[in-house]
A and B are shown apart, each in its own frame.
Chain A
Amino acid sequence: MLFKNNIVDKQYIMDCVATGGNVKVLAKAIHSLSRIGEELYLEPLEDGLALRSVNSSRSAFACFLLSPLFFQKYQAPSDQSFRCKIPIKSVQAVFKSLSSLDRSVEKCRIQLNSEKSRLTITLHCKHGLLKTHNLSFQDCESLQAVFDKESCANVLQAQPRLMVDTVLHFPPSQEEVTLSVSSDRVWLRNHVEDDADSSRAMMTELCLSSEEFDHFAISTQTSITFCLKELRGLLVFAESSGLPISMYFDEPGSPVILSVTDSVLEANFVLATLSEDSHPKNHGKSNTKHPDTEQPTDDFMNDDMDSFLIAMETSELPGPSHVPTSPPHPVPTNNRKHPASEEEQEEALAEGPPNKKFCSLFFGSVLPTLSQLTNQTIQSQEVLASDSEDENQAETS
């Protein structure tokens, strides 16, 4: 039969309906995520629908958590066992013509039927037009970067307009920028590699006073360098939603977290920062050493892995089975930002950390069966949930 009635009277593992303006928000979230990675990781949780993406070098991660209130109807699998990844271009194709989306689409439904192996996205449009997309997906492990906003020493919050205007001064091709903070000022300048011909490089530097920010809480004067390109997706989203952007960061080497929150959604963009030191700081927390044969891209591509991958310390540490007992704190790794050749990688591991490198973000493979991981799982989920915010962050209602 060519067209079974695929909408009513079926048992759905997952069934979410977004209506009105939220359809456009959903589409914009997906477009933002496409600026990070090639795949969209979808996981319906009790807390809401998590949409995540990570870049190939694992140095940028983004997650949108859309709470059940974002949806007109939200039905997640009761055992929270469903998660999948879809090439993000396939999902973007469903939400083409972004500008006219709010005028033409009345309702968007995302469903997974227990019998089918496809995710169905249905757009109910004006004039009775119904667009049904059945997308094939791949099963995967949960993708979750390990980060903790609460433990960051520095917090800034600004209106998106400020960030967009600031970033405008840098050419679209500008890869990295350095953010420096003092007790009352913020500087942003482009980052130029040491080996680049400094006489030909154009240096741009902007200085912002603390008064420009909605919230300015700097406890450690520091400079961090991160990739600007991957951030632009969040800026576009924040600007269109009008929500303020919060930045959480620490010393170089720790990731910078940019966050946009409202009552029904939370977006976190986690970007690795360059570690300037040759000897990365020991944070005094026990962490596992990553099995040194694995490279980040191989690890996380392997969806069959059983082991729980955690933050890595470069100094001498126990073997892979050791699990951190305290809230995991991202620390520098031996891995380069752009893992080039195998040789280079091994060389880096053998010599010790190279002078400058981006940290790879650390991912937990959420396997609830392992009891030692339960803590970690909760931690990860806590970080995602909107109620994990600290008091000094000015929240918009």
Chain B
Amino acid sequence: MPLSTQSQADIDQYILIASLDNARNLSNILKAISFKDHAIFNATQNGLKVTVEDSKCLQANAFIQADIFQEYTIKEDTVGFQVNLTVLLDCLTIFGASTTPGVCTALRMCYNGYGYPLTLFLEEGGVVTVCKINTQEPEEPIDFDFCSTNVTNKVILQSESLKEAFSELDMTSEVLQITMSPSHPYFRLSTFGNSGNAHYDYPKDSDMMELFQCTKLQTNRYKISLLKPSTKALALSCKVSVRTDSRGFLSLQYLVRNDDGQICFVEYYCCPDEEVGEE
């Protein structure tokens, strides 16, 4: 196998090695958060966390657990770096977007440490490509300080029903307003666009609603341009949890099944656009 022709010396110098038989198990989930060029990688014993931020108001994280990888070796407690996500995705999909069954790109991702590039060995059909992507000093991701003890309202929906709503969102509206309440309208997405306003109401007893835990009426607005990218994560997912805390911060957590049926998570955090106030 071409990927294993590296010498033992080469392998020893890497502080992080992660291998996948199917690179799509990484590239697909990274596409769900690829709304900006730069991503912060943070690897621990548990796996890989990739973070993308926008305007200090939005943060998206993709989690790929260690057991998703066919090989996962980490020599330090945490390994962090920043890379151009667009370039990384281009490399991961370098053999094209072919979905011929049985044919996939194998990946070995290696990192020597601070100052070294991220090295990708990609193989498909006996052809090997080596990519070295420059890394930067990782920025500290924003801590949204969103903790589950502070959650006011939470719902878990099957993604199918939200997908339609998100794909139909009136983009002439500056905001997406989310209303959550123990009483009618329960869970409502609203837009205020050029032609008028639109409301999408999900009742608490809908069969799409897997969990409904709303303690008080909350209405918050978020910049629609910030949330629109989350549609990609929604498209990949089968379930989504929507939570708001007492400050009106939004947490969207998506359960994604990869090609092999394994579970990964993507989450989005977003600050509210303005204080609408609680009635």
Contacts and interface: CB of A to CB of B under 8 A. Distances in A.
23 contacts: A2-B279, A3-B184, A3-B185, A3-B188, A87-B195, A89-B195, A93-B195, A96-B168, A127-B161, A127-B207, A128-B207, A128-B208, A129-B161, A129-B164, A129-B200, A130-B199, A131-B165, A131-B200, A132-B200, A133-B197, A134-B197, A135-B195, A136-B195
A128 B195 contact: no
Interface in B23-46: none
A129 B196 contact: no
Contacts of A131: 165, 198-201
Nearest to A94: B198
A151 interface: no
B198 A132 contact: yes
A302 interface: no
B77 interface: no
B138 interface: no
B198 A3 contact: no
A128 B198 contact: no
Which range holds the interface residue count of chain A?
20 to 34
Contact of B279 (A1, A89, A134, A136): A1
Interface residues of B, number: 26
Given A2-B219, A127-B207, A133 B196 contact: yes
B19 to A, nearest CB: 40
Interface in A1-15: 1-3, 5
| A contacts with B: majority SS | mixed
Nearest to A118: B196
Residue among A5, A93, A94 with max Cβ neighbours from chain B (10 Å): A93
B195 A3 contact: no
Contacts, number: 69
A104 B163 CA distance: 13
B61 interface: no
Interface of A: 1-3, 5, 86-87, 89-90, 93-94, 96-97, 104, 118, 127-136
The 7 lowest CB-CB distance pairs between A and B, nearest first, are A90-B195, A128-B206, A135-B196, A130-B201, A128-B203, A132-B199, A127-B208
A196 B42 CA distance: 66
Contact of A134 (B167, B196, B203, B205): B196
Contacts of A134: 196-198
Given A134-B197, A134-B198, A93 B206 contact: no
A94 B184 CA distance: 22
A313 to B, nearest CB: 41
Interface string B167-207: 11010000000010000110010000011111111110111
A130 B279 contact: no
